[in-house]
């Protein structure tokens, strides 16, 4: 009986260390893959071999690293050479640029890019939700409500839009 307590303690410690090692190992491998992708993409760009998707991917890497200015620059390069007939891709790109501006609290620019995304794909509910959020941040409550209501029209089960509508309705003073 006296031998079981230290054995149990060591077993729990060993399992904890193995779990922690696996978690840390995965994080290291993921970081290494990101850094390798970053290096490959930067080399492609230096050698003028990059396409629009490469610029987009590089921008996404910068965005994940919270290097917003570099991300926006790459996204704009991607926008310049993106195929005009790929409306879904262009919409996604405009939305991503808008998201990047929203992350830097430049909501006027974010709104512009979300609207551009919607010009190319008016059923793009992610851009509509993002537009609503940017309007909220600008204290443009009626515009935010309108954007969220459009989301609900297109996706009745959209929880984000439904919850934001409820919250915003409580903010509007009742006239009376």
Task: Of 172, 150, 170, give the one whose Cα is nearest residue 161.
Answer: 150
pLDDT tens digits for range 69-87 = 999 999 999 999 998 888 8
Residue 176 has pLDDT above 50, yes or no: no
User: Average pLDDT over the chain, rounded to whole?
Assistant: 91
**pTM higher than 0.85, yes or no?**
no
Task: Of 38, 41, 81, 74, give the one whose Cα is nearest residue 59.
Answer: 74
Residue 104, classed as helix, strand or coil, is coil
- Output the pLDDT for position 175: 43
Tell me the C-alpha distance between 102 and 76, whole Å.
Answer: 16
For 47-68, letters b (16+ CB in 10 Å) and e give eeebebebbbbbbbbbbeeeeb
Residue 98, classed as helix, strand or coil, is helix
- Output the pLDDT for position 1: 56
Six token digits for residue 50: 């990059």
């Amino acid at each position: 009986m006296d031998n079981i307590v230290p054995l149990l303690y060591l077993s729990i410690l060993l399992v904890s260390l193995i779990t922690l090692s696996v978690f840390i190992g995965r994080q290291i491998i993921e970081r290494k893959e990101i850094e390798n992708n970053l290096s490959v993409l930067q080399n492609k760009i230096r050698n003028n071999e990059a396409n629009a998707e490469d610029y987009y991917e590089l921008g996404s890497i910068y965005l994940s690293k919270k290097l917003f200015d570099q991300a926006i620059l790459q996204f704009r390069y991607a926008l310049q050479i993106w195929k005009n007939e790929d409306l879904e891709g262009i919409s996604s790109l405009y939305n991503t640029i808008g998201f990047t501006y929203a992350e830097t609290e430049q909501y006027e620019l974010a709104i512009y890019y979300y609207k551009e995304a919607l010009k190319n794909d008016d059923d793009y509910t992610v851009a509509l939700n993002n537009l609503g959020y940017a309007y909220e941040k600008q204290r443009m409550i009626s515009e935010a409500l309108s954007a969220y209501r459009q989301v609900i029209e297109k996706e009745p089960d959209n929880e984000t839009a439904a919850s934001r509508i409820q919250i915003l309705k409580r903010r509007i003073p009742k006239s009376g």
